Amino acid sequence: MAENRSTGISRRGLLGAFAATALTAAPTYSKAAGFLRGGGDVRRISMYSGRTGERLDTIYWIEGQYIGEALREINAFMRDWRNNKVVNMDSRTVDIMAAAHRLMNTSEPYMLLSGYRSPETNAMLRSQSSGVARNSLHMRGQAADLRLSSRSINDMTKAAAACNAGGVGTYRGSNFVHMDCGDVRTWRG
């Protein structure tokens, strides 16, 4: 389960940041190309849940390697909050979220509206709305519905679409953007 934190980064994230600092402080020729093109040697995700009150701020990737403990924290944070079921979130979705966030140049954490959805939750939501897919990628841990108060949904949509790595749905009425690691496509809900 993700910790209930009001501010700051997790202890493991902090240790990862120190490791990244040590790695980048003494660059070698083999790493030079990554530095020159801004290769993103560290990936970070920051989110909060209005439903549970939990916050997550973690570095989950350093120097080409995912950090297992950080991914487990992300999985727990993005669980189906209605029944606390957890799955392994697809790291490609987390990468899209992090890349889009970085493109928007904001320090505000995402508000996570929906990450993983159990089949029971998806069926319940589908019975209440025509906008919920029967075979939603949320049920595979491959999608997230997100909001930022400091950026418009148009800005969020453009940033996610610029990643050219998955699906991007814009939901104006509900003021959120859907990001997934499925086929590259866009839609308005």
Is 3 contained in some domain? no
Is 69 contained in some domain? yes
Is 2 contained in some domain? no
pLDDT tens digits, one per residue of 27-69: 333 333 333 334 558 999 999 998 999 999 999 999 899 999 9
Is 155 contained in some domain? yes
pLDDT tens digits, one per residue of 121-159: 989 988 887 778 888 999 999 999 999 999 999 999 999
CA distance 140 to 87: 8
CATH number of the structural domain spanning residue 154? 3.30.1380.10
Is 6 contained in some domain? no
- The predicted model gives 165-172 an average pLDDT of 95
User: Structural domain tally of the chain?
Assistant: 1
Is 17 contained in some domain? yes
- In terms of phi and psi (left: phi > 0; alpha: psi -120 to 50; beta: otherwise), the region of 63 is left
Is 83 contained in some domain? yes
Structural domain including 156 reads 11-188
Is 5 contained in some domain? no
How many residues would you count in the chain?
A: 189
